[in-house]
Structure 1
Amino acid sequence: MAHKTLIIILFLNVFFVFPIENPLSKSNHNIETTASVSNSAVADFVVSTPQELTNALAAITAGGNIFIREGNYVFTSRISISKSGTSSNLISILPHPDNTGRAKLDFSSMAENSSNRAITLSGSYWHIKGIDIFGAGDNGMFIGGSNNLIEFCTFSECKDSGLQIGSGGSNNTILNCDSFNNADSSIENADGFACKLDAGTGNKFIGCRAWQNLDDGWDGYLRPADNITTTHENCWAFRNGYLKNGTIGGGDGNGFKTGGSDDKLLKHNAIYKNCIAAGNVFDGFDHNSNRGDVTLYNCSAYSNGRNINFSSTNIANSLTIKNTISISGVSGGDSYSATTTNITNNSWQNGLVANASDFVSLDMTLLTAPRKADGSLPDIDFMKLVPDSDLIDKGVDVGLAFNGAAPDLGAFESVALGMDDFVVEQGVFNYPNPFSTETHVVFHTKETSKIGVSIYNLMGVNVFNIAEKTYPAGKNSILLDRNKLASGNYLLVIKGRDHQRNSKLITIQ
């Protein structure tokens, strides 16, 4: 059996620490009752018109919730949010539990102008979930506050970046959001997501997609911020640089622009884990004079102008690339220049050659498949390895979950089953994660197997168990209820007869 204390120390550095207040659950739609759980003096609001939403935003206090009903909300002026919640009492905008559709906030009647951002969030400790922001005269959302969670939202057809973080905004998490078809009238600007210019540090993008934005999928250009760190996990950037009608625009057309600055001196430290860059007009992963430290773990780059481009001009401080696939770059070979490099176990090394036969599919249209009901990314075959690919088990352990003797190359871990082994779907033990009420633990078995699940806190104390049970061959799912666990980070351990897997588990209240 693995030594639990050592495993916990290993995962501590990658845990996402973000306590969230979310009173909704599938079994309880009584809004008045849930509001009194945390603070009997806190009022909740149900809104169904633009004016009701505006009034609720003016009246809401820390710990309160705004439940927005499905429908089209037309706005003729921007929404400015300056008040803040607290770390233990967030302010939330959430879908009403009775919704069968989504709420669309339509700002398309506003003129294209830098002052016409749809939502400006200068406050901190907000949780905004499940809304579509459309047609803003500038950014769909601009975040200058800190410690906010933006979840399962979309940003489309805005005249500047769909979602931008700036004005010192730090430690924000953008979770399971999509940004697409953003373009300005000059046909040279508008990214999907942008953590740039004067942004703060510690911002994270998890499970997000950016496609067919005029400029870049993600833009990290700095002015004047310096030496900040931004993390991207399980994010997909594809076909950026194209307009909605499919023609090429005048923007840069990068998937992930890691940094850059006017004086070519500023450092944007960028971390990419299990990310995909595909079909972008220019670079998949782009240097652009970034002087910081850039890390790519288990990423996939396909059919970009250049898949990975770190030039020898205005060189990066360090570049680490491991377990990554680069295939079918359109405009030439990749470049990997930096003052210090650590580039090992990739598809172009150790005698490996990646080609189309390694993958179940290279159809980029799969990347726009609908998300799951909980907002998580769809299960697709794009760039998944076929069972006999020589890219399987050719990686090196970088702290991400893997099956088999060693990690596979690329963004998706293959399902390689032994007689009594179990594996985890796409290398992720549970979804959603973070979760507030319940989560699904998904695994596959080749034969009928006995499986047990345990949860440990970060001190190594066993706090919860699901008794061992026999599961049939094939795909299985365990519904894991929160069971009164406090908000925070835990270690999930799933055990079979001869096998054990461990992963991070995050509960939010």
Structure 2
Amino acid sequence: MDPLPSGDDLYVAPDGSEDSPGTLDAPTTLYKAVTLVRPGQTIYLRGGEYLYVPTVEIAFGNDGTAEQMKRVFAYPGEKPVLEFKDQYYKKGDPASPRGVELHGSYWHMKGIEIANAGDNGIFISGHHNVIEHCVFHNNRDSGLQLGGRLGELDTPVEEWPSYNKVINCDSYNNFDPPDGGDADGFAPKLNVGAGNEFHGCRAWNNSDDGWDMFNRNGKPLKPVLLDQCWAFDNGYQEGGYMSTPPPVPYMGNGNGFKMGGGSSLASDHVITRSVAFGNKVRGFDENNNVGNITVKNCTGWLNGSMNFAFGEGGYHTFINNISHRRKSGDEPVGTLTSNAFEGATDADFLSFDRALAKAPRNPDGSLPATDFLRLAPTSQFVDAGSTEGPAFPYSGAAPDLGAFEVE
């Protein structure tokens, strides 16, 4: 349970002052609060729009502890928006600023919206951080990126960001002008250490990919875990390629989950109970990853080419997955157990109403429970799965296929 606001905490408001002490009656700015907060203390952001220009930087060495994290929370019942629309931007210019840079460790951020940054909405290079129930949109690079503090080439592997958790977050409409070739929803790429996880997150209408786990420079990423994540309509402007009239596609790749790239490096990522649909090109894509990616209980539907693209080079593990309606035949190269890459019909599903994927989250931040892409009780794929691989609760005699278990 989250702590309740108290007099020992710090308070920030859109009209807060650098000269104020950060009390409820005299709030300060977020820039100042992150330099004052102690381990175990919470910074509460009051609701409203924060028109910020400089990056909010949580410096290297500004750390909480495992027992007493430093917290940046929305004030209960209120919605703070960090608005960076006045930041400088020029494609390829490293001077384009990010919204938030989190170089510290053991921080917990919750309930915050970050929009229109000149680069990433938030960039994380620290360790053991939790980003929860946050929203990143209309930023001019990826909404959230994990990467090396000293840059792609100069950060030692032992300093790559590790053991960070991103929980119940949304990232959408991120676009890097003029062509949109780099902005992803979530980008754990280039320099990513061990133990990073995404749970219950959604990425849509990003100009490049929903998730991008691109490898480069001969150093493979450490395995990333994704569970119960949704990637849809990436590579297209808002509306997706099924809208009428269809929008002009972005120049980005347009994959849902891109789990490799750059060179033939091995990263044994794990993706479970996740959904990819309506993306410009591929739903689930190994992108030259020659490791052993585990794909379990995932659903691919109506992506622009393949729903599952795992060709020669790697040897991957597929358990309990469903593919339905794609433009090109799938390539699941590896060990296959209880999958349906062929044979699914519309009658196997309750709904194809794609608007339901953007339904509001539950009050606790969890994903909405709708009929979209859920199996009909009469589906041939109910109780047709295997218990091999990562274990999840299930009803009936055996697990179902696909991302959603029939209750």
Residue 92 (structure 1) aligned to one of 71, 76, 80: 71
Residue 111 (structure 2) aligned to one of 123, 130, 134: 130
What is the alpha-carbon distance in structure 1 between the residues aligned to residue 347 and residue 254 of structure 2?
28
Q: Alpha carbon RMSD of aligned pairs, Å?
A: 1.4
TM superposition outliers: structure 1 runs of 4+ over 4 Å:
none
Partner of 1:63: 40
1:395 and 2:391 matched:
no
- Post-superposition Cα deviations, 1:140-166, rounded to whole Å, max 9, x if no partner, equal 000000000000000000010000001
Native 8 Å contact 2:190 2:221 kept in 1: no
Native 8 Å contact 2:98 2:123 kept in 1: yes
Q: Report matched runs for 1:32-47 at 5 Å.
A: 32=7, 43-47=8-12
Partner of 2:317: 320
Q: Report matched runs for 1:229-268 at 5 Å.
A: 229-244=223-238, 246-261=247-262, 264-268=263-267
Partner of 2:124: 143
**TM superposition shift of 1:265:** 2.8
Residue 206 (structure 1) aligned to one of 196, 199, 202: 199
Residue 379 (structure 1) aligned to one of 366, 369, 379: 369
Q: Report matched runs for 1:7-406 at 5 Å.
A: 22-24=2-4, 29=5, 31-32=6-7, 43-49=8-14, 51=17, 52-82=29-59, 83-97=62-76, 99=77, 101-113=78-90, 114-115=94-95, 116-167=97-148, 168-187=160-179, 188-224=181-217, 225-244=219-238, 246-261=247-262, 264-305=263-304, 306-312=306-312, 315-316=313-314, 318-330=315-327, 332-337=328-333, 341-348=334-341, 353-398=343-388, 399-406=391-398
Native 8 Å contact 2:215 2:221 kept in 1: no
- Post-superposition Cα deviations, 1:203-245, rounded to whole Å, max 9, x if no partner, equal 0000000000000000000224325110000000000001236
TM-score by length of 1: 0.70
Q: Which has the larger share of strand?
A: 1
Q: Which has the larger radius of gyration?
A: 1
What is the alpha-carbon distance in structure 1 between the residues aligned to residue 368 and residue 341 of structure 2?
28
What is the alpha-carbon distance in structure 2 between the residues aligned to residue 141 and residue 298 of structure 1?
30
Native 8 Å contact 1:220 1:268 kept in 2: no
Gaps of 5+ in 2: 18-28, 149-159, 240-246
Native 8 Å contact 1:45 1:66 kept in 2: yes
Q: Name the aligned partner's letter for residue 406 of structure 2.
A: S
**TM superposition shift of 1:186:** 2.4
Deviates more, 1:364-373 or 1:106-115: 106-115
Q: Name the aligned partner's letter for residue 191 of structure 1.
A: D
What is the alpha-carbon distance in structure 2 between the residues aligned to residue 219 and residue 68 of structure 1?
30
**TM superposition shift of 1:413:** 0.5
Gaps of 5+ in 1: 1-20, 33-42, 416-509
What is the alpha-carbon distance in structure 2 between the residues aligned to residue 342 and residue 85 of structure 1?
42
**TM superposition shift of 1:170:** 0.7
Change (3 A) 1:145 1:57: same
What is the alpha-carbon distance in structure 1 between the residues aligned to residue 291 and residue 147 of structure 2?
18
What is the alpha-carbon distance in structure 2 between the residues aligned to residue 182 and residue 58 of structure 1?
29
Aligned residues: 366
